Each structure stands twice: as structure tokens, then as C-alpha cells.
């Protein structure tokens, strides 16, 4: 049995100087149009209490292109500019629905450099991709094949802080969703990245710590360069490349780990961690950020949805570490320094494995009886839950096959 899903396949590519210049102009125009539309909508509401929608900003864009000052907007493809207005509309929709903060202006230095192309702005022929306003196809490194017979419905071109170029192809794909036999509870930890209810502990690679010396060296060199100089720009690229190497390794490890967990288990139970509050602890913030628990949960959520798995999120206040998984006795105190403890029933517990077993038991009881579960996070782009819709009568927040 398979499930039809939309998947984005990301590849690195190497543009010619002409293509790089065209894409750089497109990125700048996308940022300018987004900021001008945001300023216009903000001004309309502040001065006249008037809400400006996407269609009004699209008409504004047409008028802007006819002016002498903004005539250069006609030199790039119009589709990425329209997509920028659609993204702004989504940002406002999420703001009014209280799912996000008020939209902010895009910065030339800090914002992501990207442009989104729909089918009218690119040509896909014989496995070669050519964007609008370009004569030659992109030189893409096909690190993995696209699904058989797949054709992209949307293409996003981006450049990261390290200067690398990427293209993301959104395609229809069919993913096998045969039921698995396993159930697992997962407890997040800093010593070992994860502890599973099976007794397995996943080693924490500590990617940031491995490259900490190289990162510090690159940052010291950048700090010595004069601001605004070409040498500082080169030093900044070296810092960005170290960050990119750390990020790539972390993402690769999390992808492999989450894919294995979703393939092997039909029900996965995790704890609802408030990472945003946890990183306020300055003693642990660096290690927590390096562990990337939020990214781990995000990957689990969409991969579980792809394969029809049950992802249960236990309430953050559930005392998983202090509860004996054998007799159910609750310890009075359990400081972080305690890694093993002995219950009054005589069972010797590994703190993290015991917590994972309690999380699994709580998740299974939630499925059976209800209660004690956190709702799935909402996708800020669509406004819908990341979990599947439950049939009538299903327990709230539990994805059901």
C-alpha cells in the first residue's frame, strides 16, 4: 500500500556567471517587492484602517513596473514577484489567526535569498531544468534520482550564507505505508541524544562541539578585519562555511534517525518539550541547540504523516523521569545529576531509558482512554494541523489510521 504525497527534492547546482547575475537580480527584486507591499499594507491600516489583500498588492505591482524608478522589475521573471506577494498574504493570514507575529521587512544581509517559480516560469524537458529569462538549463548535481515519471510542479532557487546554490523541486511521490509492528517511546537527553523504550541509546554526535575550534578560529579572523572591506567579506564566508558544515551533518543524522524510527514503528510516543524556554538556561543553551530537538520532532511529524504512523505527544508535565516503570512509584526528587536510581521495589533504573518506557506507557494509555496529550502543532503556512484528520469520535490530537 502506498500514499500519494508532495515531496521537495533539494539539489545543489552550479550557475554560470550570467545565471548567477540573473538570480541575484531576481532575489533583490523579490525582496524589494515584498518590502514595498508590506509597507503599503501597513500604511493603509495605520492611516485609514484599511485592509489591503493580495489582489490589491498585485495591482500595485503592475503600477510599480510602469514607473521609471521601478522599471527594472520588468527585467526579471514576474512569477517570483507574484509569489512574494502570496507569501506576504500567508504571513498576514497567520498573523490575524494569531499563529505568528506581525510580518517584518526582509533584510539584504540576514534574510534568506530565494525565488519561487511555478510551472509558467520554468521548463522541464528530458530531466533538464531551465528557468524563465535564461537560455541554458541549470547545471544540477543529481545526488539522488527523482521518482519515476515525476515532473516538478514548483521550483525554488536559493543561495545560502556560504554562497552555495540550491534548487528544490516539488514533485508528486508515492511512499509505501505498510503497517509496522513496533511501538516505541522516546526520551530526549543531552548525554545521549535519545533514549528509546527498547533500552537503546542513540549517541549524541555533538556536531557543533566537533567544529567548535574551527568556528572560533574563523570568527576571530573575521573580527580582526575592517568592517565593509573585501577581506571581511571573505572571512565571513569562511565562518558561514563552518556553520553550513555543522548544519549539514546535523540534518543528515536527524534524517537517517527519524526515517529509521518511522519505518520500524507504527506508534511513536514523544514528550512535548518547550525548547524555546529551555534554551533560556545559559548553561545548557548551546548543547540544547546542538541537539536540535525541535527539528527532530518536525521531521518525525511529517514523516509519520507520509507513512500513516501514529505520533503521540505526551504532556510536558508528565513525570516520566521520577516514575518507576515497574511498580509505578513516584520519587520525590530527581535532580539532573542523578543518572541511575533504585526504586523502593528494588528495580535499578537508567534515568533516560526509564523515562522513555514511562512515556510509551502514557502514550498507549492515551490512545486507549484519552487525556494527557498535547495537540499537534499547526503549520503556520496552511493553518492546519501537522497531524492527519481524525475520524469522528477519535481521541483529540491522536493521528489514526
* CATH number, position 251: 3.30.420
| Distance, CA of 329 to CA of 323 (rounded, Å) | 6
| Distance, CA of 219 to CA of 232 (rounded, Å) | 10
pLDDT band at 397 (very low <50, low <70, confident <90, very high): very low
Instruction: For cell 539532573, name the residue.
Output: 336
In a domain, 45, yes or no: yes
- 256 and 164 in a single domain? The answer is no
- 121 and 197 in a single domain? The answer is no
- 114 and 151 in a single domain? The answer is yes
In a domain, 358, yes or no: yes
| Per-residue confidence (pLDDT) for residue 337, from 0 to 100 | 82
In a domain, 223, yes or no: no
- The whole-angstrom distance between residue 242's C-alpha and the CA centroid of its chain comes to 20
- 193 and 172 in a single domain? The answer is no
In a domain, 281, yes or no: yes
In a domain, 232, yes or no: no
Q: Domain ends where: 176, 191, 219?
A: 176
Residue 395 pLDDT greater than 70, yes or no: no
C-beta of residue 209 within 8 angstroms of C-beta of residue 203: no
- 161 and 20 in a single domain? The answer is yes
- 94 and 193 in a single domain? The answer is no
| Distance, CA of 7 to CA of 13 (rounded, Å) | 19
109 — phi, psi (to 5°)? -90, -35
pLDDT in tens, 41-92: 999 999 988 989 999 999 999 999 999 999 999 999 999 999 999 999 999 9
- From residue 392, alpha-carbon distances to 203, 315, 400 in Å are 41, 23, 11
In a domain, 221, yes or no: no
Burial string for 323-360 (b: 16+ CB within 10 Å, else e) reads bbbeeeeebeebeeeeeebebeeeeebbbbbbbbbbbb
- 193 and 166 in a single domain? The answer is no
C-beta of residue 132 within 8 angstroms of C-beta of residue 121: yes
- What is the average pLDDT score of the chain? 88
- 171 and 186 in a single domain? The answer is no
Pairing of strands 265-271, 310-314: parallel
Report, as an integer, the average pLDDT of 92-117.
94
- 139 and 198 in a single domain? The answer is no
Q: What is the DSSP string of 336-394?
A: TT--EEE-TTS-EEEHHHHHHHHHHHHHHHHHHH--SBPPPPBPTTT-SBSSPPPPTTP
In a domain, 157, yes or no: yes
DSSP state of 336: T
- 143 and 30 in a single domain? The answer is yes
| Distance, CA of 224 to CA of 235 (rounded, Å) | 9
pLDDT in tens, 239-298: 999 999 999 999 999 999 999 999 999 999 999 888 888 888 888 899 989 999 999 999
When divided into structural domains, the chain yields a total of 2
In a domain, 158, yes or no: yes
Q: List beta partners, residue 258.
A: none
- 283 and 256 in a single domain? The answer is yes
The catalytic site residues sit at 187, 271, 352
Q: In what order do the strands lie in the sheet with 265-271?
A: 201-203, 192-196, 182-188, 265-271, 310-314
Which residue, among 73, 9, 6, has the nearest Cα to 37 in the 3D structure? 73
Which residue, among 179, 253, 250, 153, has the nearest Cα to 211 in the 3D structure? 250
C-alpha cell at 256: 537517517
Residue 379 pLDDT greater than 70, yes or no: no
Report, as an integer, the average pLDDT of 80-107.
95
Write out the residue range of the structural domain in which residue 301 sits: 182-204+246-369
- 320 and 346 in a single domain? The answer is yes
Amino acid at each position: 500500500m502506498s500514499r500519494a504525497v508532495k515531496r521537495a527534492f533539494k539539489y545543489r547546482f552550479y550557475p554560470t556567471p550570467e545565471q548567477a547575475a540573473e538570480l541575484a537580480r531576481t532575489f533583490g527584486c523579490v525582496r524589494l517587492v515584498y518590502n514595498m507591499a508590506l509597507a503599503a499594507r501597513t500604511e493603509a491600516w495605520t492611516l485609514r484602517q484599511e485592509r489591503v489583500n493580495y489582489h490589491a498588492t498585485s495591482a500595485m505591482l503592475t503600477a510599480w513596473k510602469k514607473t521609471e524608478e521601478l522599471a527594472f522589475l520588468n527585467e526579471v521573471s514576474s512569477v517570483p514577484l507574484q509569489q512574494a506577494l502570496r507569501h506576504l498574504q500567508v504571513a498576514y493570514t497567520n498573523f490575524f489567526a494569531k499563529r505568528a507575529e506581525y510580518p517584518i521587512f526582509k533584510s539584504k544581509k540576514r534574510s534568506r535569498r530565494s525565488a519561487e517559480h511555478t510551472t509558467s516560469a520554468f521548463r522541464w524537458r528530458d530531466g533538464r531544468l531551465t528557468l524563465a529569462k535564461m537560455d541554458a538549463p541549470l547545471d544540477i548535481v543529481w545526488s539522488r534520482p527523482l521518482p519515476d515519471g515525476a515532473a516538478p510542479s514548483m521550483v525554488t532557487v536559493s543561495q545560502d550564507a556560504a554562497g552555495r546554490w540550491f534548487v528544490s523541486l516539488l514533485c508528486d511521490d508515492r511512499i509505501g505505508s505498510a503497517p509496522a509492528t513496533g511501538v516505541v517511546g522516546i526520551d530526549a537527553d543531552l548525554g545521549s541524544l535519545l533514549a528509546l523504550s527498547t533500552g537503546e541509546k542513540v549517541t549524541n554526535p555533538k556536531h557543533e562541539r566537533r567544529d567548535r575550534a574551527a568556528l572560533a578560529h574563523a570568527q576571530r579572523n573575521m573580527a580582526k578585519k575592517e568592517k565593509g572591506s573585501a577581506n571581511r567579506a571573505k572571512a565571513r564566508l569562511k565562518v558561514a562555511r563552518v556553520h553550513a558544515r555543522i548544519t549539514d551533518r546535523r540534518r543528515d543524522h536527524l534524517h537517517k534517525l527519524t526515517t529509521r524510527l518511522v519505518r520500524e514503528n507504527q506508534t511513536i510516543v514523544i514528550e512535548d518539550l518547550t525548547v524555546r524556554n529551555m534554551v533560556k538556561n545559559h548553561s545548557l543553551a548551546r548543547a540544547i541547540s546542538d541537539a536540535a530537538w525541535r527539528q527532530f520532532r518536525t521531521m518525525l511529524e511529517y514523516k509519520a504523516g507520509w507513512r500513516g504512523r501514529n505520533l503521540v505527544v505526551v504532556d510536558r508535565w508528565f513525570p516520566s523521569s521520577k516514575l518507576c516503570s515497574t511498580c509505578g512509584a513516584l520519587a520525590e526528587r530527581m535532580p539532573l545529576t542523578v543518572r541511575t536510581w533504585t526504586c523502593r521495589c528494588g528495580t535499578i533504573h537508567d534515568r533516560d531509558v526509564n523515562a522513555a518506557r514511562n512515556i510509551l506507557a502514557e502514550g498507549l494509555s492515551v490512545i486507549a482512554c484519552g487525556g494527557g496529550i498535547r495537540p499537534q502543532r499547526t503549520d503556520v503556512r496552511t493553518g492546519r494541523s501537522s497531524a492527519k484528520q481524525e475520524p469522528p469520535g477519535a481521541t483529540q490530537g491522536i493521528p489514526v489510521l
